């Protein structure tokens, strides 16, 4: 088995050992010292169990994900066993209570997400789809029967989900979707789904496909179980991506795919169905982007200290390079605080979608801008994937774009601030 | 008297009425709604008494400072009664325990600072000098006798202080200061101070001048009491400033000014003396800049909703204008969270100088950048001081520059992050 | 008389002595050397007479305008003799052929403009209004009789003009103007103008007011001669501006002001009337902004070399400061080349309005951004007008805003590039 | 044969047919109209033969390079026949007079470079190495015998060169190079080269390797002919690059490689040898980056017009998208003018290295920034190489980095402007 250590304790993150956590940096003399990995002392805001969960997630990611990402990224390969490993650790659907899920708080969930994306945004995407979009969607919109049927297996990573909303001609504007559902002309209690979805993470390997389609003109949610489908479904992979290559992406092509009535979400109608799922995923992206940025800072800092130019001085002695590190560190620290804040409010039911738009937009934007600036420190070596920075830069462009492109979030927030909408 | 209401209760902010506080915005239907004045729900992080203090400070500032700032700014006039009013309200030296001070926490103190700078950075400067630099310096470095002699009157605003560190040739590099102290050749227990200081807020009107000078080659702190000085001291005002005009600034010219030994800080030596004072002041600036930025957002938002162009649409309908509002709101919300975080750590003795560098630098930089962008919304009207935005922009440039110019903080932080110093 | 030297030669700039011109920098060894004042060797693109004109304009501006700008800016005073001095030198309406004007090319005209704005944007504004907007408008739209009546005296600066287009409620959108003209109910050949204009440079001192008003629903141009007006006209100054203070600005309030028919532009109708004037003015602003930026570079470079901090090193040794100088120099050099290019095309009748939008927008934007960055080099001293940089920064904000705010030019260009209009 | 058309005319670009050239855009009514592909009318600055050369190069690149770049980029494959095709067309070493080279001016040469990079920066890199670095280096530093031996075959693309300067530990600081040459202990007139070079474009396929090495402590230039080498030389390819994948890159590992004396550049010593080559290459990069940026604009503009969102409006109707297009178009137009200016000066021997630093730095910086902004327009589709934009973005990062990273050029220019050097 993959990680026998974790087989002896219940596979929920909430009971992980605390050994990796540190509460605050201090010098040998016991005095407080500046910790470049936590410049604003955010560790002080975390509970013991949150620190423990974060430490466990970090250990798993650094030990088990980091060693395979370089090759996976090159080969555009996604190892679906990762989901099972994450399932064993209790990382999937971690905020869900019951159904074999860990039931942790939103900050703990964010900390996990940050650790996964510290390795690679693609791995985080794979997890987000499973956890936030599909499991989260079933938990929020599904019947009790649907929850019991799907969630426990998904929590273990035995059953993989994907989330079918975006269409080839409708990215930022899902309300114009063309995928339709209609009642089967002859079979009672059966719907027929037709249409195409694209840029769907995990679609080629998913067992359960959550499809948003118009039924009688209203957007509704359906769960296609691949194992039950006899015809009309194909999920070709999209290859040769220039980012997020350690994640598998594909289309979903549906031509009268049959779905039984018990796989329809019973009551949610309109875009609030998919949007509530996206809201959870966006919250996670805000956290994840900070993880990726922190890894860029770490790599750039190390490189700037080791690389010597001109009279043997390290690059770190250049003012122009220090400024890049400082800008990035500041944005990472500020972004982390904002993520924690929204997480705490989310636990209380006080996190509004606009708040999530704000942290998703800002953290993705700043992660990307800073990662690009840090990439310059590596000079020619940046072109080599071995240094990791180029991979993060390419990934972060995608995270800025998906689940609400940055400009779209600007308009969502602009509307919230002014009360006036500026979508054309 | 100025505000009789406050004469009946002890003049400490910690007991202010709570009436102005709101905990969270909600719609008429009881549902939570996005509050553009608090986009990330930071109100939820504040204690009841902090909200009360903030509300009281806001009421005072909006009712008593705002109406006079336009004229004061035009005339380059600073009304020293303001300090007495603030003293009555308990706003001066508010974090100091005892000596007639309010003894509030660092977040409450930051909230006060933010309210003052919401009106004008110059008013905040006047308060910061009194509170953070001079009162804070006496509290930290002074003898018990010095504290009792000065602090109670300063807390009331009856005695004004100024802080003399910067010299004409030494701005970012105070270690090279040229002001010297020497023992009087004949009078026992008397020092003679000679040298010049410049860009000193309040120097022309200060009663107590805290002067940093080299004694036997080491930086030491002295308190000149203007009333006791017979010769050698002049404090000419610097006029025709292009920013911070509602604050009075001047030089301090000293030619063998006599200072008695009891006005020397007994033990602090070197730059850590003035730097610990600056640290407190910088912490306040980080808060204040957010207040100024929030006022810019408020003014720009209102203008964009009221100003109609092209077919009667408000400017707020322009995407390019919405983006400016969103960027500014995001930076204000993030900066506020970071200020609260450092304030909480400061209460625990865990706020490192580098943390304060980080929030001072970032909040000032972002306040300035966003205020400038928002200024564009006003078109030609921005050139008129009546709209307030031009005054904030001019002020914020100064706040970015003083108490550690932004680039200097970059190098301080760069050194902390890399361990390598890059000052030339 | 002001400058007797120029009274002995015809007052046209095209015959100025060439003595101040230099063709290219060279070292003492005769080798070419980098010239920070002309980094891309644009001097090589200029004809001898253009160099001579530029040198004469520079001499006048540095010797006669620079010494008075500091006081004028403080006092918000505009000395109308400046126009007479410029008139004597042939700087007014310099591109107009005949009518006592110099008849130089558009590049020469741009070079003059740059030299004036190198001193102050307000002085350049005063000249632009006279030359590009009013004289240019009369030359383009006026009858032969109007030209002969006004242009020669305007060329001498004896008669001052102003340009009344912008209204209090219609800045970026002049098509919605409310000022109207109607035929006098009883007096034949007389129009009555009513309405208000604001932010009008020189309105309080102008002798000839070019007013754009709707006659029978169509925008038409009228010339009000103040000396002939008996009632209904007032032109109050707008005071307390935070930029462009060496230029006088005011309103034009008209209540049934009588204008004789011979003062109506006979044939131009609609916005193309004022827009063709604005086009010429905007062309000049593109040049002027480069002059202001170049002066900022000069001042910042000198300051950075003279100011020593930390171990006696000049600020110029800081990488962060060098970068600011390099960015600014690059934008100045690129902007100058673009201005020359459009000037050459203008001489051939090939300069499209969109080209002028592009250089006006870009040069103003870059001048402002860089001037602000350079301002940081001065630290606290930037707050003092003596260093000049703060004045340029304040002025350049206005130049970015007027005659087409930057965002408006973005939309004009966006429409030209895509064929789709995005004005709300 | 590849392009028989060109076999019937002399293979020099200077005689290409003019058919593709256009002088200026005009509408059907004969009126001038704004041309988004040439916003500032730079076509007007070009001579007829330059327009013809540009048109021919564009035709070749669009017809012959564009169709293969997608696959080449995916496979990291560089087809060396491209050099032979370019050779047939006279595109290699085009500015060299004699030796079978076209002998065109520097602007014509820049126009060619721009067309090649309009397709792909990697193809331009392959050409630049051959033309500017190796052929240019031989022409400048070589003996007459060396020129005759190498240039004609290189001009035909029959013999490929590479340029070995950068070492694993010395990128921005070649003066610290470790590669050494020593006289063979026994063989008269033979040198032994030892050391390693990295990030060398074309090294794995080059026939002639120009190696810079220290001989008696001084940097000297050597030509290794691969066909003559019996031992000690290997040139492994560097694979898995994240940019410039249509160009082949490798190392050069030398262990006592024998080089005969006649392959040593006779007189050039020190860094001025390689630097004069780099200067020519950098000049070309400034042009090339504009080509890549122009292609990004073209692709983004088309996409924004074709892609509909929200009520069927094209993306081009969004203000936020128009602004990205306008910013990019402006920088492209300005950058092109600056490139032409430096080209004209280069023809006169007046182009200083600092001028080339300025246009290389600015054009690469702006191309990259704008390409990234334009990439956002494509939303999720940007992740697909089919849209081309992601490839340009990845390539342009490399062009910003190589042959003088942007920050290094900032310091070169900062030194030139201030006279103070700020390299640590």
Instruction: Lowest mean pLDDT of C144-158, C222-236, D24-38, name the range.
Output: D24-38
Does the model's ipTM exceed the 0.90 cut? Answer: yes
Burial class (CB in 10 A: 0-12, 13-18, 19+), A228: exposed
Who has greater pLDDT, C219 or B2?
C219
Are the C-beta atoms of A417 and B322 separated by less than 8 Å? yes
Fold adopted by D161-263: Butyryl-CoA Dehydrogenase, subunit A; domain 2 (2.40.110)
Are the C-beta atoms of B127 and B364 separated by less than 8 Å? no
* Reported CATH class of domain A275-418: mainly alpha
Nearest Cα residue in chain B from A300: B418
The torsion defined by the Cα of C374, C378, C381 and C384, in degrees rounded to 10, comes to -20
Kindly tell me if the per-residue pLDDT of B118 is higher than 70.
yes
Select from A199, A318, A380 the Cβ nearest to the Cβ of D166: A380
Whether D420 contacts chain B with CB within 8 A? no
Beta bridge partners of B95: none
Of the candidates C85, C52, C88, the residue with the CA atom closest to the CA atom of residue C68: C85
CA C381 vs CA B158, B274, B368, B390, C389: distances in Å: 31, 21, 18, 19, 10
- Chain B positions in Cβ-Cβ contact with residue A37 (cut-off 8 Å): none
Both tokens assigned to B66: 């705002």
pTM of the model: 0.94
What chains are in contact with B, requiring at least 3 Cβ pairs below 8 Å?
A: A, C, D
Phi-psi region at A379: left, alpha or beta (left = phi > 0; alpha = psi -120 to 50):
left
pLDDT grade for C24, boundaries at 50, 70 and 90: very low
Q: Please name the residues between 87 and 146 in chain A that touch chain B, using a CB distance below 8 Å.
A: none
Per the CB < 8 Å rule, is A166 touching D380? yes
Q: Could you tell me where the DSSP H helices lie in B229-347? A: 272-306, 319-347
Of the candidates B239, D413, B199, the residue with the CA atom closest to the CA atom of residue C379: B199
- How far is Cα A394 from Cα A376, in angstroms, rounded to an integer? 14
Are the C-beta atoms of A291 and A225 separated by less than 8 Å? no
| Enclosing H/E stretch for B179 | none
- How far is Cα B395 from Cα D258, in angstroms, rounded to an integer? 68
pLDDT, tens digit (0-9, with 9 covering 90-100), for D148-207: 999 999 999 999 999 999 999 887 788 899 999 999 999 999 999 999 999 999 999 999
Neighbours of D25 (CB within 10 A): 15
Residue that the structure tokens 């334009």 belong to: D374
The pLDDT assigned to A28 comes to 54
Of the candidates D108, D156, D121, D110, the residue with the CA atom closest to the CA atom of residue D135: D156
| Cα dihedral across residues D283, D289, D295, D297: positive or negative | negative
The pLDDT assigned to B423 comes to 86
Kindly tell me if the per-residue pLDDT of C132 is higher than 80.
yes
pLDDT, tens digit (0-9, with 9 covering 90-100), for A169-206: 887 788 899 999 999 999 999 999 999 999 999 999 99
Q: How far is A67 from chain B (nearest CA, A)?
A: 26
pLDDT, tens digit (0-9, with 9 covering 90-100), for C31-64: 689 999 999 999 999 999 999 999 999 999 999 9
CA A383 vs CA A393, A396, D245, D362, D395: distances in Å: 11, 16, 10, 21, 9
Percentage of chain C modeled with pLDDT above 90? 86
Residue that the structure tokens 């998919």 belong to: A274
Kindly tell me if the per-residue pLDDT of D68 is higher than 50.
yes
CATH architecture type of domain C4-155: Orthogonal Bundle (1.10)
The pLDDT assigned to D223 comes to 98
Sort strands C249-260 and C233-234 into parallel, antiparallel or unpaired. Answer: antiparallel
Of the candidates B422, B403, B407, the residue with the CA atom closest to the CA atom of residue B353: B403
Per the CB < 8 Å rule, is D330 touching C358? yes
Of the candidates A176, A167, A222, A221, the residue with the CA atom closest to the CA atom of residue A199: A167
The pLDDT assigned to B23 comes to 44
Per the CB < 8 Å rule, is B416 touching A304? no
The pLDDT assigned to B172 comes to 77
Percentage of chain D modeled with pLDDT above 70? 93
Q: How far is D411 from chain B (nearest CA, A)?
A: 14
Are the C-beta atoms of A211 and A221 separated by less than 8 Å? yes
Select from C320, C422, C424 the Cβ nearest to the Cβ of A320: C320
Whether D317 contacts chain A with CB within 8 A? yes
- Chain A positions in Cβ-Cβ contact with residue C318 (cut-off 8 Å): 319
pLDDT, tens digit (0-9, with 9 covering 90-100), for D316-326: 999 999 999 99
pLDDT grade for B196, boundaries at 50, 70 and 90: very high
Are the C-beta atoms of D404 and D282 separated by less than 8 Å? yes
The pLDDT assigned to B28 comes to 54
Are the C-beta atoms of D75 and D126 separated by less than 8 Å? no
Nearest Cα residue in chain C from B381: C199
Whether D406 contacts chain A with CB within 8 A? yes
Q: How far is B388 from chain D (nearest CA, A)?
A: 27
Kindly tell me if the per-residue pLDDT of D255 is higher than 60.
yes
Kindly tell me if the per-residue pLDDT of B91 is higher than 60.
yes
Of the candidates C358, B399, B325, D153, the residue with the CA atom closest to the CA atom of residue A420: B325
Percentage of chain B modeled with pLDDT above 70? 93
- How far is Cα A268 from Cα A141, in angstroms, rounded to an integer? 6
Q: How far is B301 from chain A (nearest CA, A)?
A: 7
pLDDT grade for A334, boundaries at 50, 70 and 90: very high
The SS3 of residue D209 is strand
Kindly tell me if the per-residue pLDDT of A12 is higher than 90.
no
Mean pLDDT for B155-172 is: 93
- How far is Cα D200 from Cα D126, in angstroms, rounded to an integer? 10
CA B249 vs CA B207, B245, B246, C380: distances in Å: 14, 9, 10, 11
The pLDDT assigned to A169 comes to 87
Both tokens assigned to B309: 């162009």
Select from C319, C422, C424 the Cβ nearest to the Cβ of A320: C319
Q: How many CA atoms lie within 13 A of B106 on its CB side?
A: 26
- How far is Cα A183 from Cα C293, in angstroms, rounded to an integer? 69
Whether C320 contacts chain A with CB within 8 A? yes
The pLDDT assigned to D30 comes to 58
Nearest Cα residue in chain A from C323: A320
Whether D334 contacts chain C with CB within 8 A? yes
- How far is Cα D168 from Cα B127, in angstroms, rounded to an integer? 56
Domain residue spans of chain C:
4-155, 161-263, 275-418
Kindly tell me if the per-residue pLDDT of C26 is higher than 70.
no
Mean pLDDT for A364-380 is: 97
Kindly tell me if the per-residue pLDDT of A368 is higher than 90.
yes
Q: H helices then E strands: how many in chain C?
A: 12, 11
Of the candidates B268, B262, B277, the residue with the CA atom closest to the CA atom of residue B137: B277
| Enclosing H/E stretch for D322 | helix D319-347
Kindly tell me if the per-residue pLDDT of A14 is higher than 80.
no
Instruction: Lowest mean pLDDT of B400-409, C362-371, D105-114, name the range.
Output: B400-409
The pLDDT assigned to C30 comes to 58
- How far is Cα B244 from Cα B119, in angstroms, rounded to an integer? 12
Both tokens assigned to A383: 């072109």
Q: Where are the beta strands (DSSP E) in D286-361?
A: 308-309, 313-314
Kindly tell me if the per-residue pLDDT of A15 is higher than 50.
no
DSSP for B109-164?
HHHHHHHHHHH-HHHHHHHHIIIIIIIHHHHHHS-HHHHHHHHHHHHTTSS-EEEE
Beta bridge partners of C181: C193, C215
Kindly tell me if the per-residue pLDDT of B219 is higher than 60.
yes
Select from B326, B344, B421 the Cβ nearest to the Cβ of A414: B326
Whether D288 contacts chain A with CB within 8 A? no
CA D121 vs CA A379, D94, D246, D373: distances in Å: 17, 18, 8, 18
What chains are in contact with A, requiring at least 3 Cβ pairs below 8 Å?
A: B, C, D
pLDDT, tens digit (0-9, with 9 covering 90-100), for D330-387: 999 999 999 999 999 999 999 999 999 999 999 999 999 999 999 999 998 999 988 9
The pLDDT assigned to A21 comes to 40
């Amino acid at each position: 088995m993959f990680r026998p250590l974790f087989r002896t304790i219940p596979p929920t993150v909430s009971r992980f050992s605390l050994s990796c956590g540190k509460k605050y940096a201090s010098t040998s003399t016991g005095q407080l010292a500046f910790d470049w990995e936590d410049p604003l002392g955010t560790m002080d805001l975390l509970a013991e169990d949150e620190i423990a969960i974060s430490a466990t997630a970090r250990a798993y990611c650094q030990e088990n994900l980091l060693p395979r990402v370089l090759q996976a990224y090159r080969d555009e390969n996604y190892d679906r066993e990762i989901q099972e490993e994450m399932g064993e650790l209790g990382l999937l659907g971690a905020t869900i209570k019951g159904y074999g899920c860990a039931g942790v708080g939103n900050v703990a969930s964010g900390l996990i997400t940050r650790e996964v994306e510290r390795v690679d945004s693609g791995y985080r995407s794979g997890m987000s789809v499973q956890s936030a979009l599909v499991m989260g969607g079933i938990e929020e919109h599904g019947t009790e029967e649907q929850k019991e049927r799907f969630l426990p297996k998904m929590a273990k990573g035995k059953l993989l989900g994907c989330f079918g909303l975006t269409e080839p001609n409708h990215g930022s504007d899902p309300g114009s979707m063309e995928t339709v559902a209609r009642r089967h002309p002859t079979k009672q209690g059966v719907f027929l789904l037709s249409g195409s979805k694209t840029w769907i993470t995990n679609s080629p390997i998913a067992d359960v496909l959550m499809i948003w389609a118009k039924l009688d003109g209203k957007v509704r949610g359906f769960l296609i179980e691949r194992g039950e489908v006899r015809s009309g479904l194909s999920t070709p992979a999209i290859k040769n991506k220039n980012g997020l290559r350690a994640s598998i992406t594909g289309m979903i092509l549906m031509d009268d795919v049959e779905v039984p009535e018990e796989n329809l979400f019973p009551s949610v109608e309109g875009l609030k169905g998919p949007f509530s799922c996206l809201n959870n995923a966006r919250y996670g992206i805000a956290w994840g982007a900070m993880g990726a940025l922190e890894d860029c800072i770490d790599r750039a800092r190390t490189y700037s200290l080791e690389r010597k130019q001109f009279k043997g001085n390290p690059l770190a002695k250049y003012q122009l390079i220090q400024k890049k590190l400082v800008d990035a560190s500041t944005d990472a620290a500020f972004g982390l605080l904002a993520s924690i804040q929204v997480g705490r409010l989310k636990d209380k039911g006080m996190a509004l979608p606009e708040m999530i738009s704000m942290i998703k937009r800002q953290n993705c934007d700043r992660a990307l801008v800073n990662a690009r600036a840090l990439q310059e420190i590596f000079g020619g070596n940046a072109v080599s994937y071995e240094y990791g920075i180029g991979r993060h830069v390419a990934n972060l462009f995608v995270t800025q774009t998906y689940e609400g492109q940055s400009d779209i979030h600007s308009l969502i927030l602009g509307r919230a601030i002014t009360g006036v909408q500026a979508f054309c």
